[in-house]
Amino acid sequence: MTDELQKGLEGVLVAESELSKIDGDAGKLVYRGYTIEDLARGASYEEVSYLLWHGHLPDADELASFEESMVAERAVDEDVLTTVRDLAEADENPMAALRTAVSMLSGYDPDADEPTTNTEATLRKGRRITAKIPTILAAFTRIRNGEDPVEPRDDLGHAANFLYMLNGEEPDDVLAETFDMALVLHADHGINASTFSAMVTASTLSDIHSAVTSAIGTLKGPLHGGANQDVMEMLKEVDDAATDPLEWVENALDEGRRVSGFGHRVYNVKDPRAKILGERSKELGEAAGSLNWYEMSTTIEEYMADQKGLAPNVDFYSASTYYQMGIPVDIYTPIFAMSRASGWIAHVVEYTEENRLIRPRARYTGPEDQLFTAVEER
């Protein structure tokens, strides 16, 4: 047992995993042996979820059966929707509302009492959670805007159905494809903070609802899940200032402000997901007849690379991509959770197959040999 201190557990190996591999120096991300480029451009979110949960890409029959099972689980119990409505009307933070609603789902799950070690039951519960999160988030967003929730459709894919429930109209193919790609890109990313949180909870043999709720609570923190919202708010500030982006960034850095969307705990080069979303952000801008957001982003990216040696992460380009799709800025992080649910569930299932309670130590630095005195003598 080592006494070497690793703050934040940085670089500490806590598990073996077949799910995703990150090469931070080469800028590569792989899900079960498939490059993120191939999956993002060729596979749907449902295919990737199946891959993460079952170890292989589905054939046509397997995919059709899986998609049907996901569609069947989209509806949310009315009691949960009542709570979502109450939270929306109380102007609750979207991530806090999602955390509460996901926790409630266990009360209506037919497999709720099945132990975490029952892998098939855990996957069934995980499938229900993944299918219902978009329904919850879309309902919350519409209710707080004074609109009624839109019921899910059974003829749309996971990504397209969310956009339909969010906006009340079927998205065109470009928007549906773009959003599906974004979900694939965020589906898994090794043992990050929220994934580890889910694993810690599950390692106690707690249930998958508790594990996902833990993960959502972890993702809510701005050091993990809020960066894409911060990026878009920064870009809007630059745009509102009507000044040159380079001048804005220079002034911001001189004032000690942080430029959001740059640097990564793992990648030392440009995040491969940022490359893909950067291309899609440009395509959306071209389709809309304005490259304002894309050009502003690339200008800032080039400056940060030249002057600070920092490369953009996935959040830097997901921000402008979502914004050009008309998605409200403050639900960017819940959308991250919507996508990452499949990865959280996959890691929980993988870890609990050979489970060991996760229990690190702390080095004690407090006083020694304190003399106890009764309360009357203190």
Catalytic pick from 186, 264, 271, 347? 264
Q: Tell me 367's DSSP state.
A: -
Report DSSP letters for 164-185, one per residue. Answer: HHHHSSPPPHHHHHHHHHHHHH
Sign of the C-alpha dihedral computed for residues 188, 191, 194 and 196 taken in this order: positive
Query: Is residue 43 within a helix (H) or strand (E), and if so which, with residue range?
Result: none
Q: Are 121 and 38 in contact (CB under 8 A)?
A: no
Catalytic residue among 54, 111, 224, 239: 224
- Write down the catalytic residue from 315, 330, 347, 369: 315
What six digits make up the tokens of 373?
Answer: 């005195």
Which residues in the chain belong to E strands, given as ranges? 20-23, 28-31, 34-35
Give the separation between CA 78 and CA 142, rounded to whole angstroms: 16
Own/partner pairs for 362-365, CB < 8 Å, 24+ apart?
A: 363/3, 363/5
- Identify whether 224 is a catalytic site residue: yes
How far CA 282 is from CA of 27, 183, 210, 288, 352, in Å, comes to 21, 18, 39, 10, 42
Active site amino acids: 224, 264, 315
